[in-house]
C-alpha cells in the first residue's frame, strides 16, 4: 500500500512538474516581443486588403504582387532577412488582428482613436491629399475656382471631407451622398461637375470612367498616413519601423514605388497626385 501511495505521489509530482513546464513555455512565448518573434520565426506578417494603389492581389494566382504597401513590406522583409507573409484582413478588423497577434503591422491612418489601442511610429509613411475628380474643362486649380454657385461638387456626407468643403467652398453647390461610391456615381452620371475625396480612390475611378482630371486644389489639404503596430513594452520593432519608413520617404523610395504601381495600373504618374508632401508644388 505504501509503495502504491509513493508511486501515485511520484506520478502526481511529475504531472505537476510537466504542467509547470508547459506554463513556463507558454508564458515565455506570450512574453516574446514582436521583434523577437520575427527573428525567431523568420517571418514578417503584414495585414493586406484589396485596395489599389496600396495593395493589389493578382487574380490569376491569388498572390499579393503589387501595390505601394506590398512593395514596402517586401523591402522591409528583405532588410530583416525574413519572409513577408501577407495576412488578409479588412480595414475594420485590422486593429483586432494586431491585438490578437495575428499580424505584425498594417497600413492605417494614425487617428487619435486608433492611437489609443495600437502604436504608431513618429514618422508618417506618406501623405494623402484632398483632391477632386473634375470635368476636363472645369477650372479646379484652386478651391476658389470651385467656390461658385454654378459649380456642383459631390462629397460623402458627414466626413472630414464634407467638413472641409463646407468651410472652404461655402458658395459652391455641395451635394452630399451616403458614401464614396454614391458620390463617384453622381460624377459618372454627370449630375455633378466634380467629386472630392482623398485622392487614392479617385485613381481607380479615373481609370474606370475614362474621363475627368484629378487635381489637388490649392491651398492643399493633406493628411498623414502611417503603419500601425501592436502596443507592447518592447518598442524595438516600432522604432525600427519608424527609422525604416523615414529612410524610404526621405530617399524618395516611397514615391518611386508608388509611381511604379501607377504605371502598372495604367495611369500616368505625372498626372496623378503625389504622396511625398514636399513634391506637391514641385511639378
**Nearby residues of 15 by Cβ (< 8 Å), 6 or more positions away:** none
Q: Is it the case that residue 166 has pLDDT exceeding 70?
A: yes
Pairwise CA distance, residues 193 & 64, whole Å: 36
For strand 83-88 and strand 105-108, is the pairing parallel, antiparallel, or unpaired? unpaired
The percent of residues above 70 in pLDDT, for the chain, comes to 88
Q: What is the pLDDT of residues 211-267, one digit of tens each?
A: 999 999 999 888 889 999 999 999 999 999 999 999 999 999 999 999 999 898 888
Question: How far is the first Cα of the chain from the last one, in angstroms, to the nearest whole number?
Answer: 93
Q: Write down the pLDDT at residue 264.
A: 87
- Delineate the domains of the chain, giving CATH numbers in brackets: 34-126+224-278 (3.40.190.10), 128-215 (3.40.190.10)
Query: What's the mean pLDDT in 72-90?
Result: 97
Pairwise CA distance, residues 251 & 72, whole Å: 13
HSE on the CB side for 206, CA within 13 Å? 30
Cell of 246: 523615414
Cell of 262: 501607377
Query: How many other C-beta atoms can be found within 10 angstroms of the C-beta atom of residue 55?
Result: 23
Q: Is the dihedral angle over the CA atoms 261, 266, 270, 274 positive or is it negative?
A: negative
Do the Cβ atoms of 266 and 203 come closer than 8 Å?
Answer: no
Q: Kindly report the pTM of this predicted structure.
A: 0.75
Amino acid at each position: 500500500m505504501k509503495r502504491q501511495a509513493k508511486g501515485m505521489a511520484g506520478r502526481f509530482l511529475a504531472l505537476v512538474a510537466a504542467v509547470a513546464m508547459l506554463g513556463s513555455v507558454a508564458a515565455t512565448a506570450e512574453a516574446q516581443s514582436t521583434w523577437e518573434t520575427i527573428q525567431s520565426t523568420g517571418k514578417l506578417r503584414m495585414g493586406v486588403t484589396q485596395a489599389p494603389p496600396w495593395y493589389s492581389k493578382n487574380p490569376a494566382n491569388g498572390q499579393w504582387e503589387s501595390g505601394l504597401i506590398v512593395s514596402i513590406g517586401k523591402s522591409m522583409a528583405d532588410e530583416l532577412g525574413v519572409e513577408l507573409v501577407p495576412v488578409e484582413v479588412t480595414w475594420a478588423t485590422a486593429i483586432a488582428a494586431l491585438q490578437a497577434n495575428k499580424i505584425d503591422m498594417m497600413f492605417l491612418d494614425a487617428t487619435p482613436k486608433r492611437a489609443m489601442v495600437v502604436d504608431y511610429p513618429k514618422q508618417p509613411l506618406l501623405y494623402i491629399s484632398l483632391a477632386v475628380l473634375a470635368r476636363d474643362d472645369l477650372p479646379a486649380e484652386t478651391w476658389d475656382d470651385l467656390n461658385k454657385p454654378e459649380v456642383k461638387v459631390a462629397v460623402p456626407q458627414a466626413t472630414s471631407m464634407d467638413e472641409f468643403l463646407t468651410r472652404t467652398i461655402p458658395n459652391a453647390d455641395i451635394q452630399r451622398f451616403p458614401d464614396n461610391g454614391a458620390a463617384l456615381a453622381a460624377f459618372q452620371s454627370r449630375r455633378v461637375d466634380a467629386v472630392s475625396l482623398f485622392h487614392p480612390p479617385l485613381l481607380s475611378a479615373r481609370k474606370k470612367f475614362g474621363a475627368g482630371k484629378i487635381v489637388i486644389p490649392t491651398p492643399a489639404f493633406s493628411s498623414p498616413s502611417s503603419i500601425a503596430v501592436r502596443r507592447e513594452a518592447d518598442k524595438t520593432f516600432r522604432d525600427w519601423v519608424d527609422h525604416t519608413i523615414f529612410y524610404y520617404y526621405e530617399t524618395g523610395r516611397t514615391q518611386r514605388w508608388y509611381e511604379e504601381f501607377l504605371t502598372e495600373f495604367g495611369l500616368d504618374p505625372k498626372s496623378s497626385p503625389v504622396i511625398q508632401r514636399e513634391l506637391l508644388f514641385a511639378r
